[in-house]
């Protein structure tokens, strides 16, 4: 009987010690969790110094330097220029050409030559170009703006506009507008007696005119040819 009581008492004591140990462990864990945390706050991410990244270098769009030109004068297809310059641009004169009157650029499906020149001056039949007739190809005439662009390309580089004259038409010629210019280069290229007016009287050396011909008296919004000549002899109908 005493042995049985002792075992019961011993069992109770062991259980009490077990519960006591469990409580102590729980208290220790609780103290550890509620104590001052020693956790170190994470180091903040290093901030940018605020320096803006250098943008990509942009092109300065520098215009290329022009190709160095030769010291020699480049031949140009202008009034007062050489036949060789026209041949270099258009090829050999076609079969409509005559002595001192070369022709170039035959229109397709037409006998019209777009470029007709004259070298015939009082001194020579083979000198500088002293007249240039430019034709549009039928059946398509130029607008007034197109005519000015096409024909002014054959003016000497120093040509300066002077005045315009409206020229009435007649049975042989459509109405036109004759624009008079002055070129010092032409004055040095040709003898003074090549510069005349519509009456054959001498005028200032260096004068030239460009006569723009309208399609007809009923259509003055289109042009089909222009004629560049020395002097101002085109200010009246032929």
- The 3 state secondary structure assigned to 52-71 is CCCCCCCCCCCCCCCCCCCC
pLDDT of residue 46: 47
Distance CA 183, CA 230 (A): 10
Distance CA 199, CA 221 (A): 29
pLDDT of residue 57: 39
> Mean pLDDT of residues grouped by 10 in the chain (238 residues)?
46 52 58 44 46 41 35 72 96 96 96 97 91 97 98 98 96 96 97 96 98 97 98 91
Q: How many CB atoms are located within 10 Å of the residue 149 CB?
A: 11
pLDDT of residue 71: 40
pLDDT of residue 109: 87
pLDDT of residue 66: 36
CA distances from 55 to 13, 47, 49, 58, 61 (A): 82, 21, 17, 8, 17
φ and ψ at residue 224, rounded to 5 degrees: -125, -5
Q: How many CB atoms are located within 10 Å of the residue 106 CB?
A: 16
Distance CA 164, CA 154 (A): 18
pLDDT of residue 25: 64
The reported pTM is 0.69
pLDDT of residue 12: 52
pLDDT of residue 122: 85
Instruction: Judge contact between 177 and 212, C-beta under 8 A.
Output: yes
């Amino acid at each position: 009987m005493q042995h049985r009581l002792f075992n019961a008492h011993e069992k109770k004591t062991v259980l009490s010690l077990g519960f006591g140990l469990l409580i102590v462990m729980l208290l220790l864990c609780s103290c550890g969790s509620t104590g001052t945390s020693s956790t170190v706050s994470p180091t903040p991410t290093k901030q940018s110094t605020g320096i803006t990244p250098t943008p990509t270098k942009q092109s300065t769009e520098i215009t290329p330097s022009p190709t160095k030109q030769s010291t020699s004068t480049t031949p140009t297809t202008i009034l007062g220029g050489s036949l060789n310059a026209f041949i270099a641009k258009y090829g050999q004169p076609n079969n409509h050409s005559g002595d001192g009157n070369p022709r170039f650029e035959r229109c397709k499906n037409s006998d019209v030559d777009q470029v007709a020149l004259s070298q015939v001056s009082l001194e020579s039949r083979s000198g500088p170009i002293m007249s240039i007739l430019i034709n549009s190809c039928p059946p398509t005439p130029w607008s007034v703006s197109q005519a000015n662009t096409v024909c002014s390309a054959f003016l000497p580089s120093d040509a300066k506009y002077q005045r315009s004259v409206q020229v009435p038409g007649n049975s042989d010629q459509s109405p036109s507008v004759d624009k008079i210019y002055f070129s010092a280069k032409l004055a040095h290229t040709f003898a003074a007696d090549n510069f005349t007016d519509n009456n054959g009287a001498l005028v200032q050396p260096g004068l030239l005119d460009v006569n723009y011909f309208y399609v007809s008296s009923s259509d003055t919004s289109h042009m089909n040819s222009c004629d560049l000549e020395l002097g101002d002899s085109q200010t009246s109908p032929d």
